[in-house]
Chain A
């Protein structure tokens, strides 16, 4: 179960504004999904290692070389809809 209060809390952690109608809808839908996850309790995973990636690669290191960038700094800055000053994107203040 995921109560409406919990939905609001999780949305806050994820920094997503939700409308009241969304909170109600997601509470019902996500409760159903999370209840379904209980099926995993049937699986005995005692002593089983966790898998976080499947390549078997370890410590992939790159050479200490100067590489050519795929694009210029200006091109990346142009992707922003916000004003750019001195190669930096101007945002709202974090602390007032």
Chain B
């Protein structure tokens, strides 16, 4: 019965079904791990002990009564504090929302709740999901469970660290330019950035509306498949969720990779990517070849332009989305008494936003302003088209594309925080899939010699082919 918190979702479900333990026991194991470890790691911004135990008791009662429940029922989850959770603070790690309690759930949370969710808490992030290290949070940095002097990655750093440190069984994060994959890679867990539109964005604070996705982080590929099956699908409240059927994702897990064509983009294994990262990932990929896959070198020539295109398009969308935070309908009012309404806006936003948000709002405002719109914003949107063409051409030749997630391992806390441009280039290999709106699964495949820090790779497939990512991922997992 010890260490229930270390189980995978599938192991935990089997245990619950076989009545080896109860959801309350499983939940208590996660809650004690939080109280033991989270003082050091800081993955959680809020622990919901009381409601979690209440939810767990509810599931135990229903299971005892013989009710057939969902694959996720009674299994402890941690939710990124960017998703609205009814009655539980949702801060986006921003001072402007520090005490905000939303009156309704995000659609993804609502689907989890209907599936018998046990939520142990809300996880830390870079303010409004803007960052690659979870250092830009008004709750302080989340530390990497593998080395407390290093970052957990970001912006879903709290979710990745909570899974890696066994403080929950799975977690929900968001990925706009790499925010699930990069922390998953830094913390050594699985994480899925879905096809744009696969999971409803309703009730999730918008960062960059044409890029934002919501997805799971977990300890196995099967776990990812199970969570995805619950949260994916059309939602009338998000008109960007196409009516594409949700397949049985677990059916992809034992298909093998025989005859599959796997593309290795030369730009992902070249300049700027650490040698050891390349070596570890190439070794993992060779295993796929042994299992019958064909490796094909391909080129995604627009890769080097993705960071620049993203850091124009995303702040432009962000600056428009964050206009709504003015401390009036929700959020903090300014500490000093403003003269008039306009002064109120200036003060509420000046006090309420952290540095990185101010920077991005200003970049976005600048690139959208008269005289700069064509040179920056329109140009970036055209380059985005060319990035998409790269992927379309590649998928004519290959079934999936594999590459590193981060060019380098987790960095030291404070190392990049005052150098925004260096921090932005950390996303160089995750942004292209986001630009094209294609799914990408982060898989841990090894560790750096010496430091022992985890290394992850990403498996990218065409839009709505999450199953293909899981198919390849499960072969790597069992290798």
Query: A residues engaging B (CB < 8 A)?
Result: 2, 6-7, 10-11, 13-18, 22, 25-26, 29-30, 32-34, 36-37, 39-40, 42-43, 45, 48-57, 60, 62, 67, 70-72, 75-76, 78-82, 89, 91-94, 96
Among A45, A55, A80, contact of B379 (Cβ-Cβ < 8 Å): A45
B471 at the interface (CB under 8 A from A): no
Contact of B381 with A50 in the complex, beta carbons under 8 Å: yes
CA distance A11 to B330 in the complex (A): 22
Interface string of B339-351 (1 = CB under 8 A from A): 1111111110111
Closest to B99 in A: A81
In Å, the complex CA distance between A70 and B341 comes to 30
Q: Which of B100, B312, B385 contacts A50 (CB under 8 A)? A: B385
**Interface contact A10-B369, CB-CB below 8 Å:** yes
13 residue pairs of the A-B complex, CB under 8 angstroms, read A7-B362, A13-B365, A14-B362, A33-B359, A36-B421, A51-B382, A51-B388, A57-B197, A70-B104, A79-B100, A81-B327, A91-B341, A93-B341
Q: Which residue of B lies closest to A11 (CB)?
A: B362
Min CB–CB distance B46 → chain A (angstroms):
17
CA distance A37 to B372 in the complex (A): 12
The residue that B381 contacts in the complex, of A6, A51, A60, with Cβ under 8 A, is A51
The residues of A that contact B435 with a CB separation of less than 8 Å are 54
B380 within 8 A of A: yes
Answer whether A92 and B344 are a contact pair too, CB < 8 Å, given A2-B366, A34-B366, A78-B103.
yes
A80 with B329: CB separation less than 8 A: yes
Most buried by A among B311, B346, B347, B424: B346
A6 contacts which chain B residues (CB < 8 A)? 366
Instruction: For A79, give its contact among B101, B385, B424 (CB under 8 Å).
Output: B101
Residues of A within 8 A of B328 (CB): 80, 82, 89, 91
**A16 B346 Cβ-Cβ under 8 A:** yes
Does the CB pair B358–A43 fall under 8 Å?
no
Contacts of B311 in A (CB 8 A): 33, 36-37
Instruction: Give the contacts of B19-66 with A (CB-CB under 8 A).
Output: none
Residue on A nearest B338 in the bound complex, by CB: A92
B239 nearest CB across to chain A (Å): 4
The verdict on B80 contacting chain A, using a C-beta distance below 8 Å, is no
Given known A-B contacts A10-B369, A45-B382, A52-B381, A33 and B103 have beta carbons under 8 A apart: no
Expressed in whole angstroms, the Cα–Cα distance for A15 and B332 within the complex equals 16
CB within 8 A of B363: which of A25, A30, A67, A79? Answer: A30
Partner of A49, one of B332, B345, B382, B437: B382
Give the residue among A51, A72, A76 with the most B Cβ atoms within 10 A. Answer: A51
In this complex, what residue of A is CB-closest to B434?
Answer: A54
Cross-chain contact of B349 among A2, A16, A30, A72 (Cβ < 8 A): A16
The 7 A-B pairs at the shortest CB distance, nearest first, are namely A17-B350, A54-B437, A75-B103, A50-B381, A45-B382, A71-B103, A70-B104
The CA-CA distance from A72 to B339 in the complex, in Å, is 32
Are the C-beta atoms of A79 and B103 separated by less than 8 Å? yes
Report if B85 contacts A (CB, 8 A).
no
- Whether A15 contacts B381 in the complex (CB less than 8 A), given A36-B308, A80-B329, A91-B328, comes out as no
B residues 221-277 in Cβ contact with A at 8 Å: 236, 239-240, 242
Indicate if B181 sits at the interface (CB-CB under 8 A).
Answer: no
Whole-angstrom CA separation of A15 from B369 in the bound complex: 14
CA distance A62 to B243 in the complex (A): 13
B residues near A29, Cβ cutoff 8 Å: 359, 420-421
Interface residues of B in 262-307 (CB under 8 A from A): 302, 304-305, 307
Q: Is B365 a contact of A39 with CB atoms below 8 Å?
A: no
What would 17 more interface pairs be, CB under 8 Å, given A45-B385, A91-B344, A92-B344? A10-B362, A13-B369, A16-B353, A17-B351, A30-B359, A30-B362, A39-B305, A48-B382, A50-B382, A54-B388, A55-B196, A79-B103, A79-B330, A80-B328, A80-B329, A81-B332, A92-B340
Indicate if the CB atoms of A93 and B210 lie closer than 8 Å: no
**Interface-central residue, B344, B362, B388, by most chain A CB under 10 Å:** B362
Name the CB-closest residue of A to B382.
A45
Given B242, B350, B363, B388, which contacts A55 in the complex, CB threshold below 8 Å? B242
Least CB distance, B133 to chain A, in whole angstroms: 16
B residues 304-323 touching A (CB-CB < 8 Å):
304-305, 307-309, 311-312, 319
B436 beta carbon closer than 8 Å to chain A:
yes
Would A15 and B305 be within 8 Å (CB), given that A48-B386, A51-B388, A54-B210 are in contact? no
